[in-house]
Homo-oligomer: A and B are copies of this chain.
Amino acid sequence: MKELVERIKKDGHVLSNGVLKVDSFITHQVDAELMERVGKRFAEVFADKGITKVVTIEASGIVPAVYAAQALKVPMIFARKAKSLTMSEELLTSSVYSFTKQVTSQISISKKFLTGEDKVLIIDDFLANGQAAKGLVELCQQAGAEVSGIGIIIEKSFQSGRALLEEMGLNIVSLARIASLENQRVEFLEEDA
């Protein structure tokens, strides 16, 4: 997605060889107009998959996921990282290790929101090691739902996430694919989806 690639070039900050910071428009401060176009792009790409639910994980995935869900005219569900007192019923759960936060989280979705009839589009802001997406895929599998696609805003293609998910037979579309963050420079892999 050309606009996204240009915005990363302009406003992304390379913190180290592994870390790209996009906190001025995606992960902390959010550019709603750009995120709506990102969500619509995901909806276009997966338009013929019969998607019934968009699933993401709190917190940075929520905005692109809700715009994708709106464009696809289906509900969005965000997996929770901590169990709340108001989530009393049965849960689908799995564990996700975050390399940036260095913690393992339990993630969960209420069973009543995903069934064997669902065709799910998983959305997230970043694909790095693939742990978050894998956790979401596991929640869908527990429900018997089909994962019909994974939409990622920024893929760090020099990390192992895509390979991990492709080995699971999943179809991944990333709107910006980063080949390298070396020498304080963002090198893109190709002009994307």
CB < 8 Å neighbour of A23 from B82, B103, B110: B110
Enumerate chain B residues within 8 angstroms of A109, measured Cβ to Cβ.
28
Enumerate chain B residues within 8 angstroms of A100, measured Cβ to Cβ.
84-86
Determine whether the beta carbon of B29 is less than 8 Å from that of A88.
no
Determine whether the beta carbon of A32 is less than 8 Å from that of B69.
yes
A18-45 interface (Cβ within 8 A of B): 19, 21, 23-24, 27-33, 35-36
Determine whether the beta carbon of A28 is less than 8 Å from that of B66.
no
Determine whether the beta carbon of A19 is less than 8 Å from that of B86.
yes
> A21-B86, A86-B27 given as contacts; is B15 within 8 A of A76 (CB)?
no
Enumerate chain B residues within 8 angstroms of A15, measured Cβ to Cβ.
86, 88
Residue of B nearest to A62 (CB): B62
The answer to whether A193 has its CB under 8 Å from any CB of chain B is no
CB < 8 Å neighbour of A63 from B23, B27, B62: B62
Instruction: Output the least CB separation between A91 and chain B (Å).
Output: 10
Residue of B nearest to A22 (CB): B86
A37-63 interface (Cβ within 8 A of B): 58-59, 62-63
Determine whether the beta carbon of A59 is less than 8 Å from that of B80.
yes
CB < 8 Å neighbour of A32 from B30, B32, B66: B66
Binding site for B on A (CB under 8 A): 15, 19, 21, 23-24, 27-33, 35-36, 58-59, 62-63, 66-67, 69-70, 75-78, 80, 82, 84-88, 100-103, 109-110, 113
15 contacts between A and B (CB under 8 A): A19-B86, A28-B78, A28-B109, A28-B110, A29-B77, A30-B75, A30-B77, A32-B67, A33-B70, A35-B66, A62-B62, A82-B101, A84-B101, A85-B100, A85-B102
User: Nearest 3 pairs between A and B by C-beta?
Assistant: A32-B70, A58-B59, A30-B76
